Amino acid sequence: MTLILLLILLIYIVTMAQLIAGFDKIKTFHSKAIPPKTFFAIVIPFRNESANLPILLESIKSLNYPKDLFEIILIDDFSEDDSVRQVYNWRMENGVFQTTLLENIRLSGSPKKDAISRAIPIIKNEWLVTTDADCVVPENWLLTLDQYIQQHNVEMIVGSVVYDTKKSFLHHFQQLDLMSLQGATISSFGMGLGFMCNGANFCYTKTLFEQLHGFKGNNKMASGDDVFLLQKAMKKHSEQVHFLKSKDTIVHTKPVLSWTELFAQRVRWASKTSTYQSVFGKDLAVIVFAGNLTIVLASCFLTLDLISWVILAILFTLKFITDFILLYKTNRFLRKKRMGYLFLSSVLYPFFCVTVAVFSWFGSYEWKGRKFKN
C-alpha cells in the first residue's frame, strides 16, 4: 500500500518538475517606446455587479492608452440590481469614451458565452480583450498588449490574474490556489501545451473567434468561455497563441467572501475539466487529483493504523517541497509578497481539492443567483 502511494506521488512530482522547467521558458516581456496603433474592444459581461462596475470603469478610465483606440462594450445579463443604472451614469459622465451597453440574448446553457457572442458582431475592429466586472485593470494594460501585438505574429494572448487579498486565511488560501493555477498556465505555455487561461484577462482577434466558430461545441457548459476557446485555438493555431508574461498586464480581482462561495466557484471551475479538448490538460488534472488524493488516503490510513505517521510525513513533505517551488516562482512574478498561511493551506488543500473534484463530477453549483448542473 505504501509503495502504491509513493509511486503515485512520484508521478506527481515528475509532472510538477516538468511544469517548473516550463515556467522558466516563458521570458518576461519588456515594453519598448512604440507608438500605439491597435484598436481594442474591451468586452465586459456582467450580472448584478453594481458594487464593482464603477471601480472597474474607473480603472479603464485611467488607462494609459489613446481614448480613440479603444471602445468599451458592456453586456448586461439580466441584472436585478442597479448595475445598468451605474453604467448609464458613468457613460453620461464620461462621454469621451466609446461605450456601448447591450442586453444579453440567451441562446445556450452558458450566459457568459452568450454575452460575449452578443458583442462580437458590433466590434468595430479586430482585437477584443475580455475582463470581468469585479476586476481592476492596470494602467498600461492595453499599451503593453499593443506593443506585444506589434512585435509578434499572434492571434490570441493569455494574461495573468491575481487576487487583492486581505489578511484572512480564506483570502490567502484563495490566493495560493489561484497562484497554483496561474503557475500551471504559464508552465504549460512554456512546454508548448497551453490549455488554461482566465477570461478576466484574455485577448484575441475577432477573425480567430469566427474561424473557430466561437463557442460552438461547448456552449452547454455554463462556464469555460475562456479555456474551451483557447483549446480550440491551440489545436489549429498554436504558434499564434501566446502567454504574455508582463507585470504591466496583471489584472486584479476580488476573492470571494465565504468558504461556501469559494467551494461553489471551484466546483464550477472544475466541472469543465472532463470536457477539455487538451489531452495534456486532462492528464494533468488527473495527476494533480491523484497527488492530492495520496495525502488524503494516507491520512485515512494513518487513522486506521495501516501506515505510520512517518510515511504520511514523508509523502506530505515531498509534495509540499515540489508545490512550493512552482508557487515561489509564480508568486515572485505575480506579487513579490510573502505567501501567507502557506503551511496551513498546504495541509488543508488536498482535502479541499479532492472534495471539489468529487462534487464537480456529481453535484451542481450556483453562479450569479442561478443553479447549474454538471
pLDDT tens digit sequence for 150-168: 999 999 999 999 998 888 9
Confidence band of 303 (pLDDT split at 50, 70, 90): very high
| pLDDT(86) > 70 | yes
Given a contact cutoff of 8 angstroms between Cβ atoms, the answer to whether 331 and 245 are in contact is no
Given a contact cutoff of 8 angstroms between Cβ atoms, the answer to whether 157 and 233 are in contact is no
| pLDDT(222) > 70 | no
Confidence band of 217 (pLDDT split at 50, 70, 90): confident
| pLDDT(366) > 80 | no
| Those residues with Cβ within 8 angstroms of residue 7's Cβ, 6 or more apart along the chain or in another chain | none
Phi, psi of 64 (to 5 degrees): -85, 70
Quick one: average pLDDT of 70-94? Answer: 94
Q: What is the pLDDT of residue 238?
A: 92
Residue 41 DSSP label: E
Q: Which three cell numbers stand for residue 374?
A: 454538471
Q: Which residue shows C-alpha cell 502504491? A: 4
Q: Which three cell numbers stand for residue 234?
A: 491551440
Q: Which of 1-5, 110-114, 365-369 has the lowest mean pLDDT?
A: 365-369
CA separation for the pair 244, 142 (Å, rounded) = 12
Bigger pLDDT: 33 vs 322: 322
- Residue-wise pLDDT tens digits, 173-211: 999 999 999 999 999 999 999 999 999 999 999 999 999
| pLDDT(263) > 60 | yes
How far apart are the two ends of the chain, measured CA to CA in Å?
A: 33
Domains of the chain in start order, with CATH, are 29-185+194-258 (3.90.550.10)
Q: Where are the alpha helices (DSSP H) in 62-205?
A: 83-93, 111-119, 141-151, 169-190
CA angle 262–359–258, rounded 5-degree value: 15
CA separation for the pair 179, 13 (Å, rounded) = 18
CA separation for the pair 172, 170 (Å, rounded) = 6
Bigger pLDDT: 218 vs 173: 173
Q: What is the pLDDT of residue 69?
A: 97
| Those residues with Cβ within 8 angstroms of residue 319's Cβ, 6 or more apart along the chain or in another chain | 9, 12, 13, 291, 294, 295, 346, 350
| pLDDT(367) > 80 | no
- What is the rounded average pLDDT for all residues in the chain? 92
Given a contact cutoff of 8 angstroms between Cβ atoms, the answer to whether 290 and 201 are in contact is no
